[in-house]
């Protein structure tokens, strides 16, 4: 029998956590057959899918539409600011398929494999800086010194952005991620300023071109000029490729190192046996899925998800983080265990919107964590994990800094 979501009291969403070691909130929902009832930041009601099978259903059923969520007049909204535009993250097939095909060649396995040398060089250079900054038992922020600049540098290489534009773009990207924490008018103003910056990047008013021939941004502009991509699609896709692409990898690397250092027995096991590197990356992705705030879909027809009937016009949010803690899929789901056989976590999504940069992200994570294990044997936290700032309001979760020691105690 199906019916309305069984939870009479709506939970405010996204869920807050006091600090980075706080348990994932409301995991008790995994034991219930229906979808949870939540209130979005806009105040609109929605359903929340938490069980693995239900999240997969939400991510793959075409009756649950990303495009309709953004374009239905009077429908539920994520926030009051209405910042989303028709990018890869906001389209449905066939438009999503068309745009994704333009981006996909840059992230194919052969292309990613060809980046291994560049990623290794970036990691080596950044670890040189980490070790120099940490000399003399000085604490150094691993997020600011390694994780963020690594993710930015690698993605700039793929996108093909000239060196003069890299620092301004990085600053704008960091502002974009905090927009959901701002009042609606400030968020809109920030979004428009970011869009104007990308307009100038793709269509400079003066001479000179910030886009490197052969890079993905250059190819997307060519596709637009050839009629294969609208101007709003071009700009929104470019913003999301960089903002989401680098921030997720940086946060995952930071949170992953934090998880390893907070489980010193597993950190030492990884240092002794590098065959654990691949499983460790997958466990980091499962255990601490940083994009736990899933992108909402709007039902364009009645659809049953689990034990809940979702009516046309209602919103559904998939929780990737809760799916990774589903005991029906993962043994001891609340334990961090890098010897765990890799399972079907949903850190990169599923179905048509599966993360296009998943292979590149895995390469960066394996390279950076492996290099840290080999070159920084004394790596340890400089502050208790519970004291680390864990701000809310961003689409990408995680600590905002990770102070570490690199010298032997």
Q: Is 242 part of a structural domain of the chain? A: yes
Alpha-carbon distance 111 to 100, whole Å? 16
Bridge-based pairing of strands 315-318 and 45-49 is parallel
Domain that holds residue 208: 11-405
Alpha-carbon distance 216 to 214, whole Å? 7
The pLDDT tens digits of the residues spanning 80-120 come to: 656 666 778 888 899 999 999 999 999 988 888 889 999 99
Q: Is 237 part of a structural domain of the chain? A: yes
Q: Is 6 part of a structural domain of the chain? A: no
What pLDDT, on a 0 to 100 scale, did the predictor assign at position 6? 47
Given a cut of 70, whether residue 17 has pLDDT beyond it is: yes
Residue 111's H or E segment, with its range, is helix 109-113
The string of DSSP letters for 184-197 reads: HHHHHHHHHHHHHH
Q: Is 1 part of a structural domain of the chain? A: no
Question: For all residues of the chain together, what is the average pLDDT?
Answer: 88
The string of DSSP letters for 167-221 reads: HHHHHHHHHHHTGGGS-HHHHHHHHHHHHHHHHHHHS-SSS---BPTTSHHHHHH
What does the pLDDT average to over 324-332? 96
Q: Is 397 part of a structural domain of the chain? A: yes
Q: Is 4 part of a structural domain of the chain? A: no
CATH code of the domain in which 171 resides = 1.10.630.10
Q: What is the dihedral of CA 398, 195, 154, 139, to 10 degrees?
A: -40
Strands of 36-39's sheet, edge to edge? 11-12, 36-39, 45-49, 315-318, 297-299, 64-65
pTM of the model: 0.92
Q: Is 290 part of a structural domain of the chain? A: yes
What pLDDT, on a 0 to 100 scale, did the predictor assign at position 21? 75
How big is the CA angle at 267 (ends 266 and 269), to the nearest 5 degrees?
Answer: 60
Given a cut of 80, whether residue 173 has pLDDT beyond it is: no
What does the pLDDT average to over 23-48? 91
What pLDDT, on a 0 to 100 scale, did the predictor assign at position 1? 42
What does the pLDDT average to over 9-34? 84
Instruction: Report the number of distinct structural domains present in the chain.
Output: 1
Given a cut of 90, whether residue 313 has pLDDT beyond it is: yes
What pLDDT, on a 0 to 100 scale, did the predictor assign at position 7? 45
What pLDDT, on a 0 to 100 scale, did the predictor assign at position 13? 84
Alpha-carbon distance 316 to 290, whole Å? 19
The dihedrals phi and psi of 95, each to the nearest 5 degrees, come to -65, -40
Q: Is 5 part of a structural domain of the chain? A: no
What pLDDT, on a 0 to 100 scale, did the predictor assign at position 364? 97
Residue 94: cis peptide before it, omega within 30 degrees of 0: yes
């Amino acid at each position: 029998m199906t019916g309305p979501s069984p939870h009479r009291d709506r939970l405010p969403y996204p869920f807050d956590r006091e600090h980075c070691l706080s348990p994932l909130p409301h995991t008790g929902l995994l034991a219930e057959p229906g979808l949870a009832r939540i209130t979005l930041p806009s105040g609109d009601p929605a359903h929340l899918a938490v069980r693995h099978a239900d999240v997969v259903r939400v991510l793959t059923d075409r009756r649950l539409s990303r495009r309709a969520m953004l374009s239905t007049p009077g429908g539920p909204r994520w926030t009051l600011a209405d910042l989303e535009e028709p990018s890869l993250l906001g389209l449905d097939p066939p438009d999503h398929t068309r745009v994704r095909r333009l981006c996909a060649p840059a992230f194919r396995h052969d292309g990613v494999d060809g980046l291994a040398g560049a990623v290794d060089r970036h990691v080596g250079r950044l670890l040189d800086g980490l070790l120099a900054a940490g000399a003399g038992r000085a604490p150094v922020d691993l997020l600011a010194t390694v994780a963020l600049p690594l993710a930015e540098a690698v993605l700039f290489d793929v996108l093909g952005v000239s060196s003069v534009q890299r620092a301004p773009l990085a600053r704008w990207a960091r502002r974009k991620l905090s927009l959901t924490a701002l009042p609606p008018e400030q968020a809109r103003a920030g979004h428009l300023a970011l869009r104007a910056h990308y307009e100038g990047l793709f269509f400079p008013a003066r001479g000179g071109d910030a886009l490197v021939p052969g890079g993905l941004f250059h190819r997307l502009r060519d596709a637009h000029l050839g009629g294969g991509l609208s101007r709003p699609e071009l700009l929104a896709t470019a913003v999301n490729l960089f903002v989401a692409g680098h921030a997720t990898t940086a946060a995952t690397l930071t949170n992953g190192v934090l998880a390893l250092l907070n489980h010193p027995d597993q950190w030492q096991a990884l240092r002794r046996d590098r065959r654990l590197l691949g499983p460790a990356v997958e466990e980091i992705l499962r255990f601490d899925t940083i994009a736990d705030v899933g992108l909402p879909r709007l039902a364009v027809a009645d659809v049953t998800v689990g034990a809940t009937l979702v009516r046309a016009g209602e919103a559904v949010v998939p929780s990737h983080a809760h799916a990774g803690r589903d005991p029906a899929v993962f043994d001891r789901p609340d334990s961090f265990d890098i010897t765990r056989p890799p399972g079907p976590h949903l850190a990169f999504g599923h179905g048509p919107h599966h993360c296009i940069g998943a292979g590149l992200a895995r390469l960066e994570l394996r390279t950076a964590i492996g290099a840290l294990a080999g070159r920084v044997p004394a790596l340890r936290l400089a502050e208790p994990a519970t004291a680390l700032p864990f701000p809310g309001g961003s689409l990408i979760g995680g600590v905002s800094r990770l102070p570490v020691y690199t010298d032997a105690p």
